[in-house]
Structure 1
Amino acid sequence: MTITVGLAGITGRFGRLLAANLLKNPDVALRGYARDPSKVVSSISALPRTQLFAGGALDGAAIQPFVSGCDVVICAYLGDDKLMVEGQKKLIDACEAARVPRYIASDWSLDYTRLQLGDLFPKDPMKHVKAYLETKEAVKGVHILVGVFMEVILGPMSGTLDPKTNTFRYWGEGTELVEGTTYADAAKYTAKVAVDPSAVGIQKFLGDRKSIKDIAASFEKVYGVKPNLERLGSLDDLKKRMHDLRAESPAAIYSYMFLFYIYYLLNGSTLIGPGVDNGKYPEIKPETWEDFMRNRKLETLLGSMAALSQ
């Protein structure tokens, strides 16, 4: 039986990965929604099971025919709060009108449901979208939690690893758990959830959960290079630092935003494990932190995030 999957944001980094995984299933008919469908790679757009729709995130008239007839709609948007909240509400309203059974929200995150609004402010849109879905009758919300992306933690954005000096920099004691999943594995799990009508509500998948000190030990094991460890301060120091920076220069969001992520990642309030749903799809063997490094050369480790956009 053919399953029609709508994918909004098909041209984005994660959208492309997800589309490729969905199309590995011969029973999937894929509908892609984008501002410029010509940007969809030919390996996806040329397949007869792919149908592309053009439109903006707030264009209700274009969204309605895109979602009509879908068995599930996935949102792979990534952008500002207006896109993440109002853009998703447009999709959800269209799904409700078309009686689409399930909507997979643009989450792929640590467990933001355990936070209060304003705690980790970049995740507030997810809380608003989840609450909005709960007001609907026909469409059921699906929220996929995966921890943080491994590519981010071991990439330049986080500042965790300095490749020039092979130094791991950390806040806290270095023993706090860091839950991570690769982009590729998150896409694999999402493709499975999309064709599983029983998968509704919170769905938790995880590649691995290890401390920074354990990750550093794996780094030495894999690359044969003994890393340095540099403690930046306690979690209380981190909390003060991130709030001070925000108060000093609120518009300079990138000077403090990732510190908020690190704080709520490490303080235990957003952990999704150890009870996860990996066992529902045992054919997927997700990469551990050690696998992630073993499958990448040291000189390209920090470029793994950028490589996703190639």
Structure 2
Amino acid sequence: MATLVGIAGITGKFASFILGNLLAQPNVDVRGYCRNSSKLREDLRSSSRVSIVEGDASDLDALRRFAKGCDVVICCYLGDDTLMKDGQKLLVDACEIENVPRYIASDYCLDFTKLEYGQHPAKDPMKHVKAHLETKKKVKGVHILIGVFMETFWSPYFGVFDAEECKLSYYGNGDEIWESTTYGTAAQYTAAVALDRSATGVFHFLGDRKNIHQIAEEFAEVYGKKPRLERRGSLENLYTTMQEIFRKDPSNIYGYLALFYQYYCTNGQTYLKKDLHNAQYPDVNPVTFKAFMQSRTPQGLSGAYENPGSK
């Protein structure tokens, strides 16, 4: 009998990686939930192993139809706080009503469990969803932590790497560790956890841990040119700057969000535990910073966020 895995938000970038890994396994069927199934590739829509339920994140009846019969539901929502908090909580409710045994929350980030409410605005919904799951009797919560996506780390928006100037910018003393995992590696671990019926609770997976100097050295090894390192100030300077922007206009998410990530990725508060869960799934071969660079041109690093599967 096939395992039925539900993927909510199946048309998203990260979901597509998870879907590919699941379909590579025998005896696995996938049911997707989305507003518009036409956004899914035709070969996937027409697959006998993939079914789709269309509906809105606020439609409990549609969510129940989606969840009914699933062995596990993976949430790949990505959006505003209403979707990430209220949308997920309603999906959890649907899973509870339909006796879905496990729910993989849309986390895939640094260790938000170590944050207080309000410290990192984008992570508050995750804390709310985790607390909501803990009130349920039937559905068990699963939380997958991966640091920062490697594609995001290299993106122009994130503000660390400048491909045109061949420059890496940082706050702090440069010894701060960046914990990072690619979309592909994170999706492999997520698929493995989804198919492991005993897997519940919080999982810590990483592709690599490096400080900015080590990343620069590996860049030079791969591309034959060492990037210029630019120190923008202390972590205290970064904190002050991001808080000022946030207080001035909390709705200006793109003005401050990357700075919040930079701060909490490197200030030590949200690091994953040293004893990772990587070894529990030895079939996954994590992509390191160096391997990620070896698979792309320097310009390709910047574009990896928009096209995670590209080189």
Same fold (TM over 0.5): yes
Q: Do the aligned partners of 1:154 and 1:160 also contact (CA within 8 Å) in 2?
A: yes
Q: Which residue of 1 aligns with 2:123?
A: 123
| Separation in structure 1 between the aligned mates of residue 12 and residue 227 of structure 2, nearest angstrom | 34
Q: Which amino acid aligns with 1:210?
A: K
Q: 1:1-310 to 2 correspondence within 5 Å?
A: 1-308=1-308
Shift of 1:48: 0.7
CA distance in 2, matches of 1:45, 1:161: 37
- 1:20 CA displacement: 1.2
In 1, the alpha carbon distance for the partners of 2:163 and 2:63 equals 44
Counterpart CA distance in 2 for 1:222 and 1:308 is 20
The number of aligned residues is: 310
Letter in 2 for 1:65: R
**Aligned-residue offset at 1:71:** 0.4
1:107, distance to aligned residue in structure 2 (A): 0.4
Q: 1:197 Cα shift?
A: 0.8
Deviations 1:25-81 (A, max 9, x none): 111110011101122112322211111111111111111111011100111000001
Deviation at 1:148, TM superposition (A): 0.4
SS of 2:305's equivalent? helix
1:164-217, Cα deviation, whole Å (9 max, x unpaired)? 111111000111000000001111110101110111000111000000111011
What's the offset of the Cα at 1:258?
1.0
SS at match of 1:203: strand
Alpha-carbon deviation of 1:299?
2.4
User: Does the CA contact (< 8 Å) of 1:20 and 1:44 recur in 2?
Assistant: no
Classify the secondary structure of the residue corresponding to 2:306. Answer: helix
Q: Partners of 1:250 and 1:143 in 2: how far apart?
A: 27
The alpha carbon displacement at 1:102 in A equals: 0.1
Q: Once the two structures are aligned, what percentage of the paired residues are identical?
A: 49
- Distance (Å, rounded) in 2 between the aligned partners of 1:15 and 1:249: 32
SS of structure 1 residue aligned to 2:198: coil
CA distance in 2, matches of 1:309, 1:219: 20
User: Whole-Å Cα distance in 2 between the matches of residues 65 and 271 of structure 1?
Assistant: 38
| CA drift at 1:248 | 2.5
**Distance across 2 between alignment mates of 1:256 and 1:54:** 34
Deviations 1:275-306 (A, max 9, x none): 11000111111111111101111221101111
SS at match of 1:209: strand
Question: Under a length normalisation based on structure 1, what TM-score does the superposition of the two structures give?
Answer: 0.98
Cα distance change, pair 309–181 in 1 and its aligned pair in 2 (3 A):
closer
**Match for 2:214: what amino acid?**
D
In structure 2, what is the Cα distance between the partners aligned to 1:39 and 1:243? 37
Task: Give, as a single letter, the amino acid of the residue that structure 1 aligns with 2:259.
Answer: L
Secondary structure of 2:196's counterpart equals coil
What SS is found at the alignment partner of 1:305? coil
The answer for unaligned runs of 5 or more in structure 2 is none
> What secondary structure does 1:306 align onto?
coil
Alpha-carbon separation, structure 1, partners of 2:243 and 2:140: 36
SS of match in other structure, 2:32: strand
Q: 1:189 & 1:43 partners in 2: Cα distance?
A: 24
Amino acid corresponding to residue 249 of structure 1 in structure 2: D
Q: Is the 8 A contact 1:5 1:29 kept in 2?
A: yes
Farther-moved stretch of structure 1 (17-26 vs 126-135) = 17-26
| Alpha-carbon distance in 2 for matches of 1:233, 1:149 | 24
Offset at residue 16 of structure 1 (A): 1.3
Cα displacement (A) at 1:273: 3.4
Separation in 2, partners of 1:248, 1:38: 40
Query: The residue matched to 2:304 in structure 1 has which SS?
Result: helix
SS at match of 1:74: strand
SS, match of residue 152 in structure 2: helix
For the aligned residues, what is the CA RMSD? Answer: 1.1
